[in-house]
Amino acid sequence: MGIMEAVKKGFGQVTKLLNVVLVFFVFNTIIGLISLPLANPERVGNPGVVAVSIISSIVFFLLFIFLQGGALGLVKDQLKTGANNISRFTEYGKKFYVRILGLLLIYILLAIGVVLVLGLASTGLLLLGDNIVTRSIVAVIVTIAAVGLITLLVYPIYVIVADDLGSVEALKKGVATAKANFGKTLALFAVLLGISLVISLVVGFLIGLVSVPLPVVISQILVAVVNAAVQSYIPIVMMVAFLSFYMSLSGGASQASVALPEATPPSE
């Protein structure tokens, strides 16, 4: 499967997954509306607001993991059978919850380790001379490391669902797949990221024009709802594109179509 084919598949199949998009839209809208009073500049630093923000962030994060599992399970069904049943959303959310949570915790540990290593390396370079050259070198190293790490860690969450593996096994297989197809994976990620940025900028510009004459509160609510719609649509497009691309790389492309019944021998 080519890069643009995966992108086209993402946008083409998302129209058949609008039930999943709707689930994410409701979730993101609730988050957006709850966040409005918490983001009020007048309340910044208020201990009560800080506590509520931290607790709500943890709760939303844990709920998001459940939504990820449910959505990925239905995306897999759509790619393999050409249909999905929203009634299985909860089943998939429960099935993959612990594994996705474990993978994300591994990601956090890896991120902390990489930040520490890069921090020490950057400090060492800057000790040689804090000037434009060393700062530029540090910026390049950090950028390359970040892009490389993100690219290598794209597939594990899809491996969990597509191959029904545990967190560690999925991490190993996902990283190996990305490493063997680094250029293609990076290209797909860049194309999808570019498209999502363009969509976000266009929608943001249009909603900005519409919301200018509206009262502040209504404008904030409108922006929150529109942002929720964009943040629900684009991730599902990316799920479809990356999962279908991974399946093609791992040899699962043939499984993406409905299996034909085996031929039965003629009766004598």
pLDDT digits (tens, 9 = 90+) for 179-204: 999 999 999 999 999 999 999 999 98
pLDDT digits (tens, 9 = 90+) for 151-161: 999 999 999 99
The better pLDDT of the pair 185, 114 is held by: 185
The pTM assigned to this predicted structure is: 0.82
**Euclidean distance between CA atoms 1 and 142, whole angstroms:** 31
Question: Model confidence at 38, in pLDDT bands (50, 70, 90)?
Answer: low
Q: Which residue has the higher pLDDT, 257 or 72?
A: 72
| pLDDT score, position 25 | 95
- 180 Cβ contact list (under 8 Å, min separation 6): 249
Q: Which of 106, 104, 115, 124 is nearest to 145 (CA)?
A: 115
Q: Specify the pLDDT at position 158.
A: 95
Confidence of residue 44 (pLDDT cuts 50, 70, 90): low
Alpha carbon 266 to its chain's center: 50
Q: Taking residues 29-45, what's their average pLDDT?
A: 74
Return the higher-pLDDT residue of 205 and 250. 205
* Nearest residue to 49 via CA among 64, 27, 33, 34: 34
pLDDT at 40: 64
- Average confidence (pLDDT) over 30-38: 81
